[in-house]
């Protein structure tokens, strides 16, 4: 018996009847020889961790564009916090922690530079529309060619939007994503001096707590209470609504109604100008994207190129192309 087979047997003996077992995967688009050491979901996790798109997350905006200070979240630290919350829930419910972590690590690979403002601009400019969850799937399928299992891919593309992942592990990541960003965005907004704890809706504070630690514990505990020994992951309506009220508060006070908005306008100009420039000058893209022009078409390829940029790379290209330099 190989190490992988031993681990698969441990899964069968210890995980919940509702867990997704590695041996029950629907497989990969291209069949591969099994690893002697790792299960299929462990291989997925490792492939995501080592891919280029994952490394670029460290220089992509979460909420605050080019913040002054080392402690503001980036898209990478957001991903790690989502992974931590999701793994805690999966372990507590005796679900597949490896699958959960693989989905969590890959869920935001398709995010644009400058956070959601970059997503909104590309959605407007690209004729087929742009959603970061769909782009995340395109990253692992096409741009990085990771050949992941069906279950990991399903969890990645369904972590956002109205569709529900087909596995409980994927459903966990969808909740963990919301829990993470609501709480760490509040923390960052407080650090930036945009809000104080007392600004948060009083009803939410009474239900959820008055610190990130308390709020996360309340939300996670509620999910565990509502989801144990069930074939769906859920929150109680009261806690879910309080979480959503906090999200709406952040949209009103931080995401759309603060000084961060002024920086978003500048960021949108950068994305627009780069998009229009490379639409007209496709041969100036890196070779890997020039090679995709015939297969994917001009607009799709330019969208892929810009979506994959980090904030600082996008700014650097903008300066090179549109800002006069010294001679």
Residue 165 confidence (pLDDT):
98
Residue 166 lies inside a defined structural domain of this protein:
yes
Residue 34 lies inside a defined structural domain of this protein:
no
Residue 115 lies inside a defined structural domain of this protein:
yes
Asked if residue 222 has pLDDT above 80, the reply is yes
Distances from the Cα of 21 to the Cα of 1, 13, 207, 314, angstroms: 18, 10, 36, 41
Residue-wise pLDDT for 77-100, tens only, equals: 999 999 999 999 999 999 999 999
Residue 237 confidence (pLDDT):
98
SS (H, E, C) the chain: CCHHHHHHHHHHHHCCCCCCCHHHCCCECCCCCCCCCCCHHHHHHHHHHHCHHHHHHHHCECCCCCCCCCCCCEHHHHHHHHHHHHHHHHHHCCCCHHHHHHHHHHCCCCCCCCHHHHHHHHHHHCCCCCCHHHHHHHHHHHHCCCCCEHHHHHHHHCCCCCCCCCCHHHHHHHHHHHHHHHHHHHHHHHHCCCCCHHHCCHHHHHHHCCCHHHHHHHHHHHHHHHHCCCCCCCCCHHHHHHHHHHHHHHHHHHHCCCCHHHHHHHHHHHHHHHHHHHHHCHHHCCHHHHCCHHHHCHHHHHHHHHHCCCHHHHHHHHHHHHCCCCC
Residue-wise pLDDT for 294-314, tens only, equals: 999 999 999 999 999 999 999
Residue 136 lies inside a defined structural domain of this protein:
yes
Provide the phi-psi class of 152: left if phi over 0, else alpha when psi is between -120 and 50, else beta.
alpha
Asked if residue 325 has pLDDT above 90, the reply is no
pTM of this prediction? 0.96
Number of domains forming the structure of the chain: 1
Confidence category of residue 65, pLDDT binned at 50, 70, 90:
low
Task: Confirm if 94 and 15 have CB atoms less than 8 A apart.
Answer: yes
Residue-wise pLDDT for 155-195, tens only, equals: 999 999 899 999 999 999 999 999 999 999 999 999 888 89
Mean per-residue pLDDT, 66-73: 72
Mean per-residue pLDDT, 193-207: 94
Task: Confirm if 81 and 184 have CB atoms less than 8 A apart.
Answer: yes
Confidence category of residue 52, pLDDT binned at 50, 70, 90:
very high
Asked if residue 7 has pLDDT above 80, the reply is yes
Residue-wise pLDDT for 122-167, tens only, equals: 999 999 999 999 999 999 999 999 999 999 999 999 999 899 999 9
The pLDDT > 70 percentage for the chain reads 95
Mean per-residue pLDDT, 205-213: 96
Q: Round the average pLDDT of the chain to a whole number and report it.
A: 94
Which domain CATH number covers 273? Answer: 1.10.3210.10
Residue 180 lies inside a defined structural domain of this protein:
yes
Domain that holds residue 169: 42-318
Residue 223 lies inside a defined structural domain of this protein:
yes
Nearest 5°: CA angle at 177, between 123 and 4?
110
Asked if residue 74 has pLDDT above 80, the reply is yes
Residue 21 lies inside a defined structural domain of this protein:
no
Mean per-residue pLDDT, 24-28: 98
Residue 102 lies inside a defined structural domain of this protein:
yes
Residue-wise pLDDT for 228-265, tens only, equals: 999 999 999 999 999 999 999 998 888 765 666 678 88
Nearest in space to 43 (alpha carbons), one of 2, 82, 101, 90: 101
Nearest in space to 271 (alpha carbons), one of 300, 323, 308: 308
Residue 326 confidence (pLDDT):
64
Asked if residue 321 has pLDDT above 80, the reply is yes
């Amino acid at each position: 018996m190989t190490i992988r087979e031993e681990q698969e047997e441990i899964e069968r003996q210890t995980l919940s009847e509702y867990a997704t077992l590695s041996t029950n995967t629907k497989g990969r688009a291209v069949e591969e020889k099994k690893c002697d050491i790792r299960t299929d979901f462990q291989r997925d996790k490792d492939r995501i961790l080592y891919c280029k798109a994952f490394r670029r997350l460290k220089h992509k905006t979460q909420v605050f564009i080019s913040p002054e200070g080392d402690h503001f979240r980036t898209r990478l630290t957001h991903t790690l916090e989502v992974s931590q919350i999701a793994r805690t829930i999966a372990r507590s419910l005796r679900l597949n922690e490896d699958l959960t972590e693989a989905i969590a690590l890959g869920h935001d690979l398709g995010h644009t530079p400058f956070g959601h403002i970059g997503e909104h601009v590309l959605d407007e400019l690209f004729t087929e529309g742009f959603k970061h969850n769909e782009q995340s799937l395109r990253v692992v399928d096409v741009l990085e060619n990771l050949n992941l299992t069906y279950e990991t891919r399903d969890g990645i593309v369904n972590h956002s939007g109205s569709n529900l992942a087909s596995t409980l592990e994927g459903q966990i990541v969808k909740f963990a994503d919301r829990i993470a960003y609501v709480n760490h965005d509040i923390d960052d907004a407080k650090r930036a001096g945009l809000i104080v704890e007392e600004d948060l809706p009083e009803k939410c504070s009474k239900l959820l707590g008055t610190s990130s630690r308390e709020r996360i514990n309340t939300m996670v505990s509620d999910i565990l209470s509502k989801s144990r020994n069930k074939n769906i992951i859920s929150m109680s309506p009261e806690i879910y609504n309080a979480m959503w009220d906090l999200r709406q508060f952040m949209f009103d006070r931080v995401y759309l109604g603060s000084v961060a908005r002024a920086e978003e306008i500048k960021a949108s100009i950068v994305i627009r100008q780069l998009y229009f420039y490379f639409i007209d000058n496709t041969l100036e893209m890196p070779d890997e994207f020039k090679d995709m022009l015939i297969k994917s078409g001009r607009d799709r390829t330019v969208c892929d190129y810009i979506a994959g940029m980090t904030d600082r790379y996008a700014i650097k290209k903008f300066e090179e192309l549109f800002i006069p330099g010294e001679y």
